[in-house]
Chains A and B, each alone.
Chain A
Amino acid sequence: MVLPGIAFMFVFTYIPIYGLVIAFKHYTITDTINGAPWVGLENFKIILGDKYFMQAVINTLGISLLKLLLGFFIPVVLAIMIYELKDGPFKKLVQTISYLPHFLSWIILGGMMISWLSTTGLMNQMLSGLGLIQQGSNHLLSANKYWMIAVLSDIWKEAGWGTILYLATMSKIDPTYYEAARIDGANKWTQIKKITLPFLMPIISLNLILNVSNLLGSNLDQTLVLMNSQNSARSEVINSYVYRMGLTQGDFSYATAVGLGISLISVILLLITNTVTKKMNDGESVIF
């Protein structure tokens, strides 16, 4: 009963890994992978001089770092706040509503965003209602706003969902800790600082490592929906670049080389962050 599974994994994961060799070849759609001529590192040399690729790297890093800086700790704070609520309808309501956006696909959310951010959309209605603007404009057509739009929409979508893991961890904290703290006169802030946060630390650092190692793997779905000709200078990310070069323009070898280079850098990032957090956590590793 295991063998069909093994065969499946061989075909759908291991054969594509082998397919990576085309990064070192000159592969065209009529070739077979084995039949294509070797070109060594030529594809990788082109990458370094490719200004569109460099632009995509800057966008990917910019958006991912902003997501990390602005978005990483919001779920932690939210989770603690939800945890501190009394059990009851309000707590349930907050949880139900905050998880919901996670289940909307980027296509759906992208469609909604195009409506919110359009000239006559919700965003401009609110801004003009507050007297902040006179005339509405389409925010998605302005390249300079794209990074912020991408980051904030991602936070909007995933912040609530991000609390689940923390809430699950906190549900395992022994309530007697809090009772003891209360008797000693500790207020909520002290309780959070001295009891809740230390409990969450391992899972927070694990999440941080996974996030950092994913810095270069920015969301393809999101980019494909929100990108347009006006904002593409700021919205093109590595994944969408690979997609365009490979599947739209048929430059398979070059696109594979880009993808392979990026995965290697991601693995290095993972190793670095793991080492750093290991040092911070007194030698206790979170992943390896």
Chain B
Amino acid sequence: MKKKTGKTVKENKTFNILNIVVLLAFTLIIVVPIWNVVVSSFSSSTALASGSSTLWPKEFTLQNYQKVFADSSIWRAFGISVAKTVLGALTHVFFCAMVAYGLSKRKLVGRGFYTTFGVITLYFGGGMIPYYLLIRSLGLLDSFWVYIIPGMLSYYDVIILMNFFRDVPASLEESAKIDGAGDWTIFTKIFLPLSKPALATITLFNGVAQWNDFMTAKMFITDQNLYPLQMKIYEIIVQSQTKGFDNAALANSVVQSSSKGVQLATIIITTVPILIIYPLLQRYFIGGMMVGAVKE
């Protein structure tokens, strides 16, 4: 018996070491390529063309960034991205909360019908083309509002908020009613402040989705002035690809390879805002996922 336990301890030690080594390798596989992009964005065009900057900038330069910042259309796209992220996430969370508040009231007439009506939207839809035709007939093509209005409500988020609202003590609501508060006051003064963690989770995740979204612009926007950053990058990438950017012959030309540095600098600039709110987001990962899992 004693011998067996000793063997187990040794096996567990091997397991732990193996575990750490594999996970370390896994994190390196994620970090090294990203680091390579960061480094390359600070490298000169000749260094990029020869492929000599791998883990440390070769011929360090800020030129790529200067070129990006000198382009006024990038600033404009940045503004559009910020506007659609902030406005989109806030209207989304507020509208979802409003609907969830109403649906969380058991006395609501027709509640069963409304929830079925909502759940169906999670599983069925018309698909890409009928959706496009709808957006077109609503006159949202080439309008900034196409970023905001169609994304205002997701029934998935309504369910999450509904679960939160059910946990608000009924006595709070009752005492407010006695003081003469109406539904709207109860919603904004009691339910919203008490559900801050859930509201923050949904706002942050929706904000990230808004920031990263490019399909909306790709499908519904042709006016370059309304392009968000993601669409801008898409254009830069696609242009460089169709130009045969990576042909061996062209790779040597400074013009072509400097555009690679500019691409990478734009990519880094677009990613920085995500990295800034990342620590905030992380706090809500597990909690948010748990709420989501309960629904399944």
The smallest C-beta distance from A100 to any residue of chain B, in angstroms, reads 7
What residues of B have a CB within 8 angstroms of the CB of A122 in the complex? 32-33, 36, 54
Decide if B214 touches A168 in the complex (CB within 8 Å): no
What residues of B have a CB within 8 angstroms of the CB of A171 in the complex? 286
Cβ-defined partner of B251 (8 Å) among A84, A103, A120, A255: A120
Q: CA of A224 to CA of B218 in the docked complex: distance in angstroms? A: 10
For window 83-106 of A, CB contacts with B under 8 Å fall at 84-85, 90, 93-94, 96-101, 103-105
Decide if B128 touches A97 in the complex (CB within 8 Å): no
For window 7-59 of B, CB contacts with A under 8 Å fall at 7-8, 11-12, 15-16, 19-20, 22-23, 26-27, 29-34, 36-37, 40, 48-51, 54
Decide if B51 touches A120 in the complex (CB within 8 Å): yes
Cβ-defined partner of B270 (8 Å) among A9, A108, A228: A108
What residues of A have a CB within 8 angstroms of the CB of B278 in the complex? 100, 103
Q: CA of A256 to CA of B133 in the docked complex: distance in angstroms? A: 11
Decide if B263 touches A115 in the complex (CB within 8 Å): yes
Cβ-defined partner of B129 (8 Å) among A94, A110, A252: A252
Decide if B153 touches A8 in the complex (CB within 8 Å): yes
Nearest A-chain residue to B18, judged by Cβ: A81
Cβ-defined partner of A256 (8 Å) among B4, B129, B242, B286: B129
Q: A2-B99, A94-B23, A188-B11 are in contact. Are A13 and B124 (CB under 8 A)?
A: yes
Interface string of B124-147 (1 = CB under 8 A from A): 111111111110001000000000
Q: A13-B124, A97-B31, A168-B290 are in contact. Are A187 and B12 (CB under 8 A)?
A: yes
What residues of A have a CB within 8 angstroms of the CB of B60 in the complex? none
**Residue A119 CB within 8 A of the other chain:** yes
Q: A114-B241, A141-B246, A187-B15 are in contact. Are A99 and B285 (CB under 8 A)?
A: yes
Cβ-defined partner of B130 (8 Å) among A19, A136, A141, A187: A19
What residues of B have a CB within 8 angstroms of the CB of A247 in the complex? 128-129, 132, 219
**Residue B296 CB within 8 A of the other chain:** yes
Cβ-defined partner of A99 (8 Å) among B234, B263, B266, B282: B282
Cβ-defined partner of B117 (8 Å) among A9, A11, A111, A136: A9
Q: Which of A93, A100, A169, A229 counts the most chain B CB atoms within 10 A? A: A100
The smallest C-beta distance from A102 to any residue of chain B, in angstroms, reads 9
Decide if B15 touches A112 in the complex (CB within 8 Å): no
Interface size class of A (residues with CB under 8 A): 35 or more
**Residue B103 CB within 8 A of the other chain:** yes
**Residue B61 CB within 8 A of the other chain:** no
Decide if B127 touches A138 in the complex (CB within 8 Å): no
Decide if B215 touches A221 in the complex (CB within 8 Å): yes
Decide if A167 touches B286 in the complex (CB within 8 Å): yes
What residues of A have a CB within 8 angstroms of the CB of B131 in the complex? 12, 16, 19
**Residue B254 CB within 8 A of the other chain:** no
Decide if B129 touches A160 in the complex (CB within 8 Å): no
Q: CA of A120 to CA of B50 in the docked complex: distance in angstroms? A: 6
The smallest C-beta distance from A39 to any residue of chain B, in angstroms, reads 16
Cβ-defined partner of A103 (8 Å) among B5, B7, B274: B274
Decide if B29 touches A156 in the complex (CB within 8 Å): yes
Nearest A-chain residue to B260, judged by Cβ: A115
What residues of A have a CB within 8 angstroms of the CB of B163 in the complex? none
Cβ-defined partner of B289 (8 Å) among A17, A168, A221, A263: A168
Decide if A17 touches B12 in the complex (CB within 8 Å): no
Q: CA of A122 to CA of B12 in the docked complex: distance in angstroms? A: 37
Q: CA of A107 to CA of B271 in the docked complex: distance in angstroms? A: 11
What residues of A have a CB within 8 angstroms of the CB of B37 in the complex? 112, 115-116
**Residue A211 CB within 8 A of the other chain:** no
Q: CA of A82 to CA of B24 in the docked complex: distance in angstroms? A: 11
Q: A94-B23, A120-B251 are in contact. Are A189 and B51 (CB under 8 A)?
A: no
For window 225-249 of B, CB contacts with A under 8 Å fall at 230, 233-234, 236-238, 240-242, 246, 248
Decide if B233 touches A2 in the complex (CB within 8 Å): no
Q: CA of A165 to CA of B289 in the docked complex: distance in angstroms? A: 7
Q: A18-B126, A105-B214 are in contact. Are A111 and B289 (CB under 8 A)?
A: no
Q: A97-B27, A160-B30, A165-B289 are in contact. Are A246 and B128 (CB under 8 A)?
A: yes
- Identify the 4 closest CB pairs spanning chains A and B, nearest first: A16-B126, A19-B130, A120-B51, A5-B99
* Sample (24) of A-B pairs whose CB atoms are under 8 Å apart: A4-B98, A5-B99, A8-B95, A12-B134, A13-B126, A16-B130, A19-B134, A81-B23, A99-B282, A99-B285, A100-B30, A103-B281, A107-B237, A108-B267, A112-B264, A115-B36, A115-B263, A115-B264, A122-B36, A140-B246, A164-B285, A169-B293, A242-B127, A259-B128
**Which residues of A come within 8 Å of B, CB atoms?**
1-2, 4-6, 8-9, 11-20, 22, 33, 78, 81-82, 84-85, 90, 93-94, 96-101, 103-105, 107-108, 110-112, 114-116, 118-122, 124-125, 136, 138, 140-141, 156, 160, 164-165, 167-169, 171, 182, 185-189, 203, 206, 220-221, 224-225, 228-229, 239, 242-243, 246-247, 252, 255-256, 259-260, 263
| Sample of 12 more A-B contacts, CB < 8 Å, known A9-B155, A168-B293 | A5-B153, A13-B125, A16-B127, A17-B126, A105-B211, A108-B267, A112-B34, A156-B30, A221-B215, A225-B238, A247-B128, A259-B127
